Amino acid sequence: MAIQDPVPEPKVHVVLLATEAWGHTRPLCTFAARLAQTRRVNVTLFTAPNFAERVEAELSRSFGPSDEALRDLIRVATLDMGERKTVDALGFAAYNEAFARAYAKLVDGDTIICAHTHKKIKPISAPDAVVMDFFCVSGLEAVRKLSKKPVKVLAWMACHASVLIYPFAPESRGGRGDYRPKVMAEAASTGRPIEEVAEKVMNAYTGAIVRVPGLPLMYDYELSPQVVHLEGFAGVFYMMMQTFIDACDGTILVTAEPLEPEGVAKIRAWFAETSRKTYAVGPLFPLGENAVSGEKAQSDKPTEIDEFLETTLQSSGPKSLLYIAFGSLYWPTEPEKIWAFLDVVMEKKIPFILSHASPFAVVPDEVTAKVKAYGLGILSKWTPQQTILAHPVRNWLVCYTLRYKQYPRSHRS
């Protein structure tokens, strides 16, 4: 057995919290590993019951057998959400409330019980910093209220920089400006519910041309190309995120600055106006000796996908595969468009893999049968994304763009 170098006693305690979406939680696991490996700090990573096992598996991808001491710096605590066990990233009130209860115990030096393993997590020093998803505004409020010393709260933004600028940045930085005052004023004057007014104001598209830093010119309605499950909630949802952005002490962007230099620069300048820092830390992929095998172990069809990649490479050549990737939460409200798209793909004899992990995703039996008969496609709940993207057979990537309201028919071609 290799002799491990002793790990110095950590002097800093960082708390991590992502929302209940795997696309936000997965990179946070790698971020936790990097903190332990490069900074030697204590990390408490809170997660939801439905992600508990995946978080442990994802963390293991960044560590080998000789890294046990570093891995032990990361404490995974599943939040106790009572009877609510299913994913709920749209409202997630129970999630934030469970975090507030657990954070209070950290501050007071009390033992925490992991709701998944039921193991005791011993007290350590009170948190020095919190990195949390910018969806979790009530979680931020809990940190401000419960902390007994100054604690930095950094916004975890697991998305492209360009996605953040138009909805949240001031007009001087390429955004549309804060629409909260307009919503509150109209709700007060009309007596209409805030949710209704916020939805109306947010989706008041005029056909104007907008310039989002790092993206081509586009019409404003192109920012909302389809209906998803946030219909009727998106306006207030965005107001919550705007509140978090205004209140946090800085931001961590899970994007690569060389890929989005203009967008990152705009966000950095925007936050610098209030003496806050921006860190671009992506992309975040595990690099440990278990990185590849650990990812495949999480897939529902690892062997089948491996074999499919190799046989497709032999039969169709490099850059011949279409990878269609949907996230772990959001799913189109008009899935028939997906099946129509697959029909065209199969007519063109294009090999493909479709990943559909969302709990809302239901693949009709006739679609499953058609893909099976086609023989050049795979439908999978969980796919080893890094493996597929890195394989020489992969050419095109189609992923689901999350937008919140379908634009008016008068603007559609």
Average pLDDT over residues 84-108: 78
**Within-domain flag for 335:** yes
Q: Looking at residue 22, what is its pLDDT?
A: 87
Q: Looking at residue 313, what is its pLDDT?
A: 94
More confident residue, 9 or 269: 269
Which pLDDT tens digit goes with each residue over 165-184? 988 999 888 888 898 999 99
**Within-domain flag for 101:** yes
**Within-domain flag for 406:** no
Domain boundary among 232, 249, 266: 232
By C-alpha distance, which of 133, 64, 144 is closest to 104?
Answer: 144
- Same domain for 86 and 131? yes
- Same domain for 256 and 145? yes
Q: What is the CA 359 to chain-centroid distance, rounded?
A: 16
Q: Looking at residue 229, what is its pLDDT?
A: 53
- Same domain for 90 and 140? yes
**Within-domain flag for 333:** yes
**Within-domain flag for 266:** yes
The answer to whether residue 341 scores a pLDDT higher than 70 is yes
The answer to whether residue 98 scores a pLDDT higher than 50 is yes
More confident residue, 73 or 201: 73
- Same domain for 212 and 243? no
- Same domain for 267 and 351? no
107-111, 208-212, 383-387, 404-408 — most confident range: 107-111
Residue 301, φ and ψ in degrees, nearest 5: -140, 55
- Same domain for 99 and 244? yes
What is the percent of the chain with per-residue pLDDT over 90, rounded to a whole number?
A: 58
Q: How many residues does the chain have?
A: 413
Which pLDDT tens digit goes with each residue over 343-385? 999 999 999 999 998 888 899 999 999 999 999 999 999 898 8
Tell me which residue range forms the domain holding 361: 299-399
The answer to whether residue 413 scores a pLDDT higher than 80 is no
Q: Looking at residue 371, what is its pLDDT?
A: 95
- Same domain for 90 and 225? no
pTM reported for the whole predicted model: 0.87
**Within-domain flag for 194:** yes
Domain boundary among 194, 214, 232: 232
Q: Looking at residue 4, what is its pLDDT?
A: 55
Could you tell me if 61 and 295 are in contact, meaning their C-beta atoms sit under 8 angstroms apart? yes
The CATH number of the domain where 36 resides is what? Answer: 3.40.50.2000
Q: Looking at residue 21, what is its pLDDT?
A: 84
- Same domain for 131 and 275? yes
Residue type, 265: A
- The lowest-confidence range among 164-173, 276-285, 327-336, 397-406 is 397-406
Q: Which residues pair with 252 in a beta bridge?
A: 156, 279
- Distance linking the first and last C-alpha atoms of the chain: 65
More confident residue, 298 or 267: 267
Could you tell me if 117 and 78 are in contact, meaning their C-beta atoms sit under 8 angstroms apart? yes
Tell me the angle at which helices 336-347 and 365-374 cross, rounded to the nearest 10 degrees.
Answer: 10
Q: Residue 22 half-sphere exposure, CB side, CA atoms within 13 Å?
A: 25
- Same domain for 264 and 137? yes
- Same domain for 317 and 186? no
- Same domain for 195 and 63? no
Q: Looking at residue 83, what is its pLDDT?
A: 67
Q: Looking at residue 6, what is its pLDDT?
A: 61
Q: Looking at residue 409, what is its pLDDT?
A: 32
Which pLDDT tens digit goes with each residue over 70-94? 999 999 999 998 765 554 445 578 8
Torsion, CA 311, CA 316, CA 320, CA 326, rounded to 10: -40
Element of type H or E holding 286: none
Q: Looking at residue 402, what is its pLDDT?
A: 46
- The reply to whether omega before 258 is within 30° of 0 (cis) is no
**Within-domain flag for 107:** yes
**Within-domain flag for 3:** no
- Same domain for 334 and 200? no
Domain boundary among 280, 310, 337: 280
Instruction: Classify each residue of 77-110 as buried b or exposed e, where b means 16 or more C-beta atoms within 10 Å of its C-beta.
Output: bbbbbeeeeebbbbebebbbbbbbebbebbbeee
Total domains in the fold of the chain: 3
